[in-house]
Each structure stands twice: as structure tokens, then as C-alpha cells.
Structure 1
Amino acid sequence: MRAWTALFAAIALEVTGTLSLKLFAFDQGQLPLTFLLLAGSYWLLAQAFRQIPVAVAFAVWEATGLLLITLLGAALLGEHLQPLQLLALGGLLLGAALLHRGTREADA
């Protein structure tokens, strides 16, 4: 359970750090904060790798992070989403879920 907590904390830091790149694009003073957020995300992801298979942890980290960044970009930054883009995001989540399920079945 701790590994999953680390993974979701890594996702939160990655999403925050990535959004800060857009929000503070012209403020050089914010770059250290962005760096710390993204570095923390990778450190927590490495902790999750200790108990969660790499394929599963990375797929969940990438798919969930991409989904959140995309949705928050639309909500906070006024970026527009097309139906095909939403379908692609659903495909990413489905892929991560299938990797997780396949890994559990292989371990059994």
C-alpha cells in the first residue's frame, strides 16, 4: 500500500510541476520550485518501483499524469479538448489497467 501511496504522490508532484512550467513560463524565479517538484516525483516513482512492477507503475504514472494535466489544462488554462483526444486519454487509462491486470495474473 505504501508503494501505491508513493506512486500517487509522484503523480501529484509531476502534475503540479508540469503545470507550473506553463503557469510560470516567464518567471525564472519559479524554475527551482518546478525542478524540485519534478525531482520529487521521480524520487517517489523510484520508491514505488520497489514493490510495483516497473511496467505497471510507469503506465499508471504516465497515463494518470497525462489525464490530469490534460483535464487541468482545459479547466485552468482554457485549452480545448476534441472528442478524439478524450478517446485517446481513455485508451491510455485502459492500457494501464490492462497492464496491471496482466501483471497480477502472471504473479498468480
Structure 2
Amino acid sequence: MSGWLYLSVAIVAEVIATLALTASQGFTRSCPSLLVAIGYGLAFWCLAQTLKSIPVGVAYAIWSGVGIVLISMIGWLVFRQTLDFAAVLGMSLIVAGVMVINLFSRSVAH
């Protein structure tokens, strides 16, 4: 599997684990708590596999940036959490940063 596919799985697993963390209610609910452990375990394992072919700084920037934006969008859409102008602007800058890394950085192994 390619580093980019591992990175994609790591991002999805981290997002699912973070959503389950909310549902676990402080680890008082078993099923969501188990999903948190499995999700973060899978996310970090996939991130470790990613680092075999993608530099750590690039991989971590993309992993954390995309994760932040996805979690925020799901929070807004599903949980009706509000996002003010500053939050939307900040996330737009994160997306722009990820795009700049992917499109223009020589550090990224395509």
C-alpha cells in the first residue's frame, strides 16, 4: 500500500476515533471507548507506515490539518456546533497550507 493510502486511512481512523471520544462520555461507555482505542491505534499504525515514504513534517502537517478540518466540519454539520468567521478563516488557511504542501513542496514524494 502506498504512503498516501496509509495517510488517508490514518486520517479517517483518527476522525472516527475522535468522534467516538465524544460519544464515550469520558470513557464511561464501553463501545465508543473501544472504538476510540481501535481508531487511534489504527491511525498511529497507518501514520507510522506513511513515514516510510513521506517525510514526517509533511505527513504530520497533512494528517493533523485535514483531521482538524474534517472534525470541525462534522461538528458543524452533525452536532450543530457553531463556527465563527475566525474559525472558518483559520480552517481555510489550513486547507490552503495543505494544498501548498501537496502542489509545490519538493519534500513530498508523489
Structure 1 length-normalised TM: 0.87
Deviation track 1:30-83 (CA, whole Å, cap 9, x = no partner) reads 212211101100100111111011111111100100000000011111100111
Deviation track 1:2-53 (CA, whole Å, cap 9, x = no partner) reads 1101100100000000011112315431212211101100100111111011
- 1:70 alignment partner in structure 2: 72
**Pairing 1:1-108 to 2, within 5 Å after superposition:** 2-25=2-25, 27-30=28-31, 31-100=33-102, 101-104=104-107
Which segments of 5 or more consecutive residues in structure 2 lack a partner in the other structure?
none
More divergent stretch after superposition (95-104 vs 79-88): 95-104
State whether residues 60 and 93 of structure 1, in contact with CA within 8 Å, keep that contact through their aligned partners in structure 2. no
Structure 1 counterpart SS, 2:76:
helix
Following TM superposition, where does structure 1 have runs of at least 4 consecutive aligned residues deviating by more than 3 angstroms? none
Q: Please give the alpha-carbon distance, in whole angstroms, between the structure 2 residues aligned to 1:39 and 1:54.
A: 18
State whether residues 6 and 44 of structure 1, in contact with CA within 8 Å, keep that contact through their aligned partners in structure 2. yes
Structure 1 counterpart SS, 2:105:
helix
State the AA in 1 paired with 2:86.
Answer: L
Which segments of 5 or more consecutive residues in structure 1 lack a partner in the other structure?
none
Q: Answer 1 or 2: which has greater helix percent.
A: 1
Equivalent pairs counted in the alignment come to: 106
State whether residues 56 and 103 of structure 1, in contact with CA within 8 Å, keep that contact through their aligned partners in structure 2. no
**Coordinate RMSD, CA, aligned:** 1.9
